[in-house]
Chain A
């Protein structure tokens, strides 16, 4: 069963506008959430994370929001730039795993048009 879901396979936005990528999870034991970005033929690159004790974390143009009651998180990119075009993965981990292993969603391909 898919514990982390990204229901939108793709998203297209205009340069300068906001990009909103969404992620849902089912496992209530998840307490740490991350977003990774991936370009073709490269490994995923860490973008931003959030602990379950927070509901928002901001880093420059990137903000992650966590709604624990809805088991939902989102990544906001403002303003979007053409270089942001990539596949974005949401990931989660549970303290109970004792390893830090990440459970990933299927990914959302973001295209930012100039």
Chain B
């Protein structure tokens, strides 16, 4: 009965470094979302997967951001050549397929780019 887990919980990166953030959704959840939460703001949508298919990536801020979910379960959000403005909490959420099903959030990965 585990919830959504994310790793690492904290990541410090030097500007220009590549990072990879992992999300383990709730078993059986078809839908997976990534959100970015800047300090003092609400979460902002980044991308959406239905099983392994990335159906919406309209929220990814630049082509340095890339997400995948190759087997329809675990997902990885990769940020290449990190910039200071990438510093934020990255939240993963999963849900059953229906739009009105509850999205369950993980604890997030706090990324600090120096």
- CB-based contact B99/A95 at 8 Å: yes
Contact A102 B107 (CB under 8 A): no
| A104/B105 in contact, CB under 8 A | no
Interface residues of B in 6-56 (CB under 8 A from A): 31, 33, 35, 40-45, 48, 50, 55-56
> What CA separation (Å) do A107 and B38 show in the bound complex?
12
* Contact between chains at B45 and A43 (CB < 8 Å): no
User: B42 contacts which of A41, A45, A105 (Cβ < 8 Å)?
Assistant: A105
Residue of B nearest to A2 (CB): B42
B102 proximal to A (CB < 8 A): yes
Task: Say yes or no: is A42 at the interface (Cβ < 8 Å to chain B).
Answer: yes
Closest-by-CB residue of A relative to B99 is A100
Q: Which of B41, B99, B107 contacts A43 (CB 8 A)?
A: B107
Given known A89-B42, A100-B95, A101-B33, contact A46–B103 (CB-CB < 8 A): yes
Query: Is B65 in the interface zone, CB < 8 Å from A?
Result: no
| CB contact under 8 A between A43 and B100, given known A99-B56, A103-B45 | no
A63 at the interface (CB under 8 A from B): no
Q: Which B residues lie within 8 Å of A104 (CB)?
A: 35, 42-44
Verify A93–B99 contact, CB threshold 8 A: yes
B91 within 8 A of A: yes
Q: Check if A42 sits within 8 Å of B40, measured CB to CB.
A: no
**Per-position binary interface string of chain A over residues 95-114, scored 1 when its CB falls under 8 Å from any chain B CB and 0 otherwise:** 10111111111110000000
Chain B CB within 8 A of A74 CB: no
B105 touches A32 (CB 8 A): no
Q: Tell me if B42 and A32 are in contact (CB < 8 A).
A: no
Contact B40 A46 (CB under 8 A): no
- Tell yes or no: A49 within 8 A of B by CB: yes
- Contact between A44 and B43, CB atoms less than 8 A apart: yes
Which A residues form the contact surface with B (CB < 8 A)?
4, 6, 32, 36, 41-46, 49, 51, 89, 91, 93, 95, 97-107
5 closest residue pairs by CB, A with B:
A104-B42, A43-B105, A100-B99, A99-B48, A101-B45
Given A51-B100, A99-B33, A101-B59, 13 new contacts (CB under 8 A): A4-B42, A32-B100, A36-B105, A43-B107, A46-B103, A49-B102, A91-B42, A99-B56, A101-B56, A102-B33, A102-B35, A104-B43, A107-B41
